[in-house]
Structure 1
């Protein structure tokens, strides 16, 4: 390994664009946030060191022995997170990046591409939640954040047009077109930045843009070492060592690197990434990551040690996982399809480890097709759902998940041929801090769940076993939430002494029901007693009340406190029956 003559950022970006730099399959994918990228550019502008890079030169006659990927050009958190596979046929020697991928990808995206992160508070499946943004530099003022000297921001095209006396947003990528200093000067003149009334701002703009030009075109900032060995074991060892500091690889990144290097007939990186994308689209969507898939591989392949450590991903185990891959993926896919039919999704599953025992059981009984709808599997599904719901509510996977996964796997292996062994699992953890048994207090506490909390839909799925939650059921306020304001309650004749209690209690589960999409839309903010008399035929009223635990009390707004107390009694009765 030798130190090489440093390069300018422009030289490296040009070569990345020409696909002269590639990424080896052992590299993880791009994970840097916008904040990290802004900090990188601020550091460059302040002449801070950004550490050396490590490149790997692979002779063209050896290049076909390895898999390589292109740099990500336009990052999209949902639709474009995976690096495209590189075509190296007929190419010269391959220059691969062993250390520095995050920094180089950040530079490339900022200068040539776009970054589409998810906006907060918008649903993950809403296309408008991911606006494409480019990196801009404000040439008129410094940022308010004292940790930064320069005001870099990722902005949409519309946001970037919002210039004023304190903001002139310069698209950072445009600096690639301003190769000479006179071109930089021309831009400053044509933009009127040198003739701004505030001379200090003009001087700042002049210094900032010339500094950016110097950072990209002049200073040889990319210092790097070059490794030329074609021995994979040596390269893997170097890769692990250089990634043991800073923002280290996660276990899944490292283990995926090992799998990619050691699988013989499949591309592990592509297989696992594609599979993760696929299963996250099941039902209303899940949030399964590579960690969960790799963990499931250890459990479903009956590895004795299922902890995440390099020793467990030796060549023998990797090849076993590869040979079992089709069964593993079907087991996980079928498990998620089943769990989705129970009404669960990314919104209310607190641990992906809950999925693994279900997948292991399905694999143990031979991966039957259509398990989630088969009439012969009704009892099995009931037991799986009870275990799943109980484990979720009792938070049994909240610490040391291996302490649950291994015993449950052993019980399923021993007794699973006779159906899902719910009673054996309950007995195994009885009296421990992972017990699945519910005390009176446990069940009483469930009534304190509120609208919008993850556990609420879990509890409602117990109360509404007849609801097929694969379809559109909404969590509905029985007494409409919009009416719980002091002004509106007073107008309905609610005594002043009760108003605060009414408002405080309106979101508890005692005032919630599952309602199908269309009836819920029709109901809107209509008073419950009026909606009931208008929409539910008299001959169906008794059945409706039974299915929704509606007590036989006055259902007017002024009687909300009595309704809530009586309905909670009905809910407790059902929960005790199901959970005890």
Structure 2
């Protein structure tokens, strides 16, 4: 490995654009934020070192032996964040980047591409929430003494960049690539009427633009070492060593890199990233990642060791996983579909690891295509649902999940018929991961409040007969809108009681699950009035009250304290019965 003469940023960008510089399959994907990119450009303008790079020279005769990817250019946080596969059919060799991908991608996006990230308070499925933004430099920015930056770089939309006044003159950073000579800088300033602003602004703009031209075209700031060896094991070892610091390489990225290098017929990186995108789009969406899929491969693949260790991702295991890939993904997909049908999604599934035993069980029984809905599997689904709620509420997979996954897998493997809920409970009995609840733990469930991640599991457990494929809402039994100091006062609630009302209206004891339409009909109506209107028949009201654990007391708003106290006792009794 040799240190080679440094090159300019312009040289590096040209090489990336011509696909002379590519990324080996062992590289992770781009993870830097806009703030990191902006800081990188500010550091370059201030002549700060940005560390050296490590390149791997691959001879043209060996290019076909490995898989390479292009750099991301038009980055989109939702729709375009995967590196495209590189088509390298030329007659020359290539340079693969072993260390420095994040910095080089940031330079490429800043100078040649764009970055679309989600705007706050907009939905993920809203296309307008991701406006395209390019990197701009404010030529009129005067750094304050206590400022962390000397040059103001920002990713802006075209409309935002059009603002020009005494404080803002935004120059699209990528345009500097077309300003080849220093004299062109002056031409730009004159042609864009920069002189019409304050005199000191012209000086600021002149200084900033000349400096940017120097940084991109003249300064040889890309210092790199070049590895010319063709031994993948050696290259992988170098890669592991150099990625032990800085923005940490996720262990799963490293393991995925190894899998990609060792699979024969499939591209592991492509298969896994596409599968992650697919299952995350099921139902109302999940938050499954590569770590989860790789862990599933070890558990569902039947390997004795399931820990995230490089040794467990040896060539033999990787080829075994490749052979089982279709069965493993089918089982994971089936488990996610089942949980979506049970009303879970990214915000309520508080542990992805709880999916793994379910997927393992489905793989064992051949992943029936209609498992999530067929009546013949209803008993299985009820057992799985009960087990799922228990392990989520007990936080069974916190800490070291491998110590739980191993015995659960062992029980599932030896089960004769049906999902072995009782056998798993017996296996874990007496240990720190016991699935039984004592009275204090049951009482603590009452502390969950409206909108919290675990609240859905508690509420869903109270409704074992519901078909959760219908959309159920967390509904305030006594409407939330009634609980303001002004409305409490108007309702005649005494000050000493008002505090109790305000502390408890979001509590579990004032929550139920209702389908969307009844919830909308109920809206902000007084509960007792809505109940009589919705269920004129006393028998129907009684059925409703039994189903929703409503105490048979005075249900007027003024009696809210007694309602909470009585319903809490009913819920505790229900939990004990359901957990038995």
Shorter-normalised TM range: over 0.9
Alignment of 1:408-423 (within 5 A): 408-414=408-414, 416-423=415-422
Question: Larger deviation: 140-149 or 109-118?
Answer: 140-149
Alignment of 1:98-117 (within 5 A): 98-117=98-117
Q: Residue 57 of structure 1 corresponds to which residue in structure 2?
A: 57
Rounded Cα–Cα distance in structure 2 between residues aligned with 1:133 and 1:216: 21
Question: Larger deviation: 472-481 or 566-575?
Answer: 566-575
Rounded Cα–Cα distance in structure 2 between residues aligned with 1:189 and 1:536: 78
Rounded Cα–Cα distance in structure 1 between residues aligned with 2:432 and 2:92: 60
Q: Secondary structure at the match of 1:75?
A: strand
Q: Residue 134 of structure 1 corresponds to which residue in structure 2?
A: 134
Question: Larger deviation: 423-432 or 72-81?
Answer: 423-432
Computed over aligned residues only, the root mean square deviation of the Cα atoms, in angstroms, reads 1.9
Matched, 1:368 2:368: yes
Preserved contact between residue 194 and residue 203 of structure 1 (Cα < 8 Å): no
Q: Residue 528 of structure 1 corresponds to which residue in structure 2?
A: 527
Q: Secondary structure at the match of 1:303?
A: coil
What is the deviation of 1:244? 2.2
Using a 3 Å threshold, how does the CA distance of structure 1 residues 565 and 63 change in structure 2: closer, same or farther?
same
Q: Residue 187 of structure 2 corresponds to which residue in structure 1?
A: 186
Q: Secondary structure at the match of 1:454?
A: coil
Rounded Cα–Cα distance in structure 2 between residues aligned with 1:41 and 1:360: 48
Deviations 1:270-318 (A, max 9, x none): 1001111001111111101000110111111122221111111110111
Alignment of 1:66-215 (within 5 A): 66-142=66-142, 146-197=147-198, 199-215=199-215
Alignment of 1:151-550 (within 5 A): 151-197=152-198, 199-414=199-414, 416-538=415-537, 540-550=540-550
Preserved contact between residue 447 and residue 508 of structure 2 (Cα < 8 Å): yes
What is the deviation of 1:17? 2.0
Rounded Cα–Cα distance in structure 2 between residues aligned with 1:308 and 1:535: 55
Deviations 1:122-166 (A, max 9, x none): 443343443322222222224677332222222223333344432
Deviations 1:302-338 (A, max 9, x none): 2222111111111011111111111110111111111
TM-score, normalised to structure 1's length?
0.95
Preserved contact between residue 166 and residue 201 of structure 2 (Cα < 8 Å): no
Rounded Cα–Cα distance in structure 1 between residues aligned with 2:119 and 2:464: 35
Preserved contact between residue 283 and residue 470 of structure 1 (Cα < 8 Å): no
Rounded Cα–Cα distance in structure 2 between residues aligned with 1:352 and 1:269: 21
What are structure 1's unaligned runs of at least 5 residues? Answer: none
Q: Secondary structure at the match of 1:55?
A: strand
Rounded Cα–Cα distance in structure 1 between residues aligned with 2:159 and 2:486: 41
Rounded Cα–Cα distance in structure 1 between residues aligned with 2:430 and 2:117: 46
Rounded Cα–Cα distance in structure 2 between residues aligned with 1:124 and 1:458: 24
Deviations 1:389-429 (A, max 9, x none): 11111111110111111111111112x23222212221222
Q: Secondary structure at the match of 2:222?
A: coil
What is the deviation of 1:90? 4.1
What is the deviation of 1:9? 1.1
What is the deviation of 1:227? 2.3
Question: Larger deviation: 242-251 or 156-165?
Answer: 156-165
What are structure 2's unaligned runs of at least 5 residues? Answer: none
Rounded Cα–Cα distance in structure 2 between residues aligned with 1:142 and 1:237: 46
Q: Secondary structure at the match of 1:476?
A: strand
What is the deviation of 1:114? 1.4
TM-score, normalised to structure 2's length?
0.95
Rounded Cα–Cα distance in structure 1 between residues aligned with 2:525 and 2:551: 19
Q: Secondary structure at the match of 2:264?
A: coil
Rounded Cα–Cα distance in structure 2 between residues aligned with 1:225 and 1:133: 33
What is the deviation of 1:545? 1.9
Question: Larger deviation: 392-401 or 183-192?
Answer: 183-192
Rounded Cα–Cα distance in structure 2 between residues aligned with 1:67 and 1:490: 70
Q: Secondary structure at the match of 1:461?
A: helix
Alignment of 1:19-38 (within 5 A): 19-38=19-38
Deviations 1:502-558 (A, max 9, x none): 111110111111111122223322222232233334263222222222222222221
Preserved contact between residue 364 and residue 417 of structure 1 (Cα < 8 Å): no
What is the deviation of 1:382? 1.6
Deviations 1:247-272 (A, max 9, x none): 23211111111111100111111100
Q: Secondary structure at the match of 1:226?
A: strand
Rounded Cα–Cα distance in structure 2 between residues aligned with 1:523 and 1:467: 19
Rounded Cα–Cα distance in structure 2 between residues aligned with 1:161 and 1:240: 45
What is the deviation of 1:174? 2.1
Using a 3 Å threshold, how does the CA distance of structure 1 residues 234 and 174 change in structure 2: closer, same or farther?
same
Rounded Cα–Cα distance in structure 2 between residues aligned with 1:271 and 1:91: 29
Rounded Cα–Cα distance in structure 2 between residues aligned with 1:163 and 1:458: 53
